[in-house]
Structures are given as structure tokens and as C-alpha cells.
């Protein structure tokens, strides 16, 4: 492929493993309501769908159902209290980022997480001083799978969208990246959800691990 000018990443499940704190917040709510905590493995796949998915997995409620909104608000409040309790950069991601930086490639973050949660996580993990852009779910009027957040990231980097690669662990990431005219790469180490299998997302490639990105970019 032609050399990319920048790499954009989803946040949760792609750069950082936030599932322990998100699943922990959901189980905190269950315990507070007299319910047994759910196995982590049951909650992890739904992390990429945010509060909606976590409340759905933990309580079987969807938007529009009676009681959904109070649980969603309680979940977000609890999550805000434990943003960085166990959240970490994926171990294999750190050396990959170092390699990108050593090669002179800028990288940024495009997430559906609201900025009031995304910014403290990014800053707390010292990614803020390294990322060339941080686009949150409320930075533009749209969130993924709409391409506008990716267009905004490209604008801030002063690049054409086609010069960027987008890496994500959810089908919506690939839909957004393709709509923006970017190369799209699916992160198989992420949360993936419970929808279509990753091979059916239509990404340019499926990356089994972060190092595979360097191979795809012909940096390794």
C-alpha cells in the first residue's frame, strides 16, 4: 500500500483495555441492587457499545424500556468514579506506538466515548502528550458509524482522509472509516461485540495483534 501519513485509533478495546472498569461499574450496580455480579467474560464483549450495551448486558434493558435511563445514568456516574482504577494501555500496543513514533508517523484517537470520560483516561495514561488529535463522541454533532468524527480528525492533522488509516475493534469503526475514505483495519484483540464476525466487517485487513499493524504499514 501507499505509505500512510497518520494512523487513527479507536480508544476502548483498541488502544486501551478499559473493560475491567466498565464491567466493574456494571457489576457494582448489580450488587447495589441485590443481584449477583456477572462473569467478566459475559460483559467484556459489550464494552464497545458503551453505557447502552453495558446496561443491556447487566440488566437486560434497552433504550426505551422502563427503568433504562435511571440505570444508564447510575452506570455513568459509577464509571466516572473508577475511570482509571484498572484501565491500562494494552501491553502490546505500547511498543507498536513507539514504533510508529520512531518512524515519524503521527497518530490520533477517534472514539465514541464522551469527552468528559475520554480526556481523563487519555491524560491519565499519558497518551495526551503523544496523540496528535483526540476526537470524542461529542466533539462533532455525529458519532461513529458516521464519518464526520474521522473527517474532523483528518482536518486537525491537516491531512486528506485518504492519507489516514483507521484501526478499531467494532463494526461501526470500519463502517465509519470506509465512509470517510480511509483504509480500515479491524483490531482482533479488542471487544468485537456480538454482531457480525470480524471477518465480515469489510475491513482492508484484520489485525490479530498490534504488531501486525507495523507489518501492514511495512514498518517491520
By annotation, the residues acting in catalysis are 10, 12
Helix (H, G, I), strand (E, B) or coil at 184: strand
Rounded distance between C-alpha atoms, residue 143 and residue 135, angstroms: 10
End-to-end Cα distance, the chain: 14
Strand partners, 12: 16
Rounded distance between C-alpha atoms, residue 101 and residue 55, angstroms: 38
Helix (H, G, I), strand (E, B) or coil at 89: strand
Tell me the CA distances in angstroms from 4 to 19, 42, 160, 182, 214, one per residue in order.
30, 37, 11, 10, 11
Site of grid cell 506506538: 97
Amino acid at each position: 500500500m501507499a505509505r500512510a501519513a497518520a494512523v487513527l485509533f479507536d480508544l476502548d478495546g483498541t488502544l486501551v483495555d478499559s473493560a475491567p472498569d466498565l464491567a466493574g461499574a456494571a457489576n457494582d450496580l448489580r450488587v447495589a441492587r441485590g443481584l449477583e455480579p456477572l462473569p467478566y467474560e459475559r460483559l467484556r464483549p459489550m464494552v464497545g457499545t458503551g453505557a447502552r450495551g453495558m446496561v443491556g448486558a447487566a440488566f437486560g434493558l434497552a433504550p426505551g424500556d422502563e427503568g433504562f435511563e435511571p440505570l444508564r445514568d447510575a452506570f455513568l456516574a459509577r464509571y466516572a468514579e473508577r475511570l482509571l482504577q484498572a484501565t491500562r494501555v494494552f501491553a502490546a500496543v505500547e511498543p507498536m506506538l513507539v514504533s510508529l513514533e520512531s518512524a515519524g508517523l503521527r497518530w490520533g484517537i477517534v472514539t465514541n466515548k464522551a469527552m468528559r470520560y475520554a480526556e481523563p483516561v487519555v491524560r491519565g495514561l499519558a497518551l495526551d502528550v503523544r496523540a496528535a488529535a483526540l476526537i470524542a463522541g461529542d466533539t462533532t454533532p455525529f458519532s461513529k458509524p458516521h464519518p464526520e468524527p474521522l473527517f474532523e480528525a483528518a482536518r486537525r492533522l491537516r491531512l486528506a482522509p485518504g492519507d489516514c488509516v483507521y484501526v478499531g475493534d467494532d463494526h461501526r469503526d470500519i463502517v465509519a472509516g470506509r465512509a470517510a475514505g480511509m483504509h480500515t483495519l479491524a483490531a482482533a484483540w479488542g471487544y468485537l461485540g456480538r454482531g457480525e464476525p470480524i471477518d465480515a466487517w469489510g475491513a482492508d485487513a484484520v489485525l490479530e495483534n498490534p504488531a501486525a499493524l507495523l507489518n501492514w504499514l511495512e514498518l517491520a
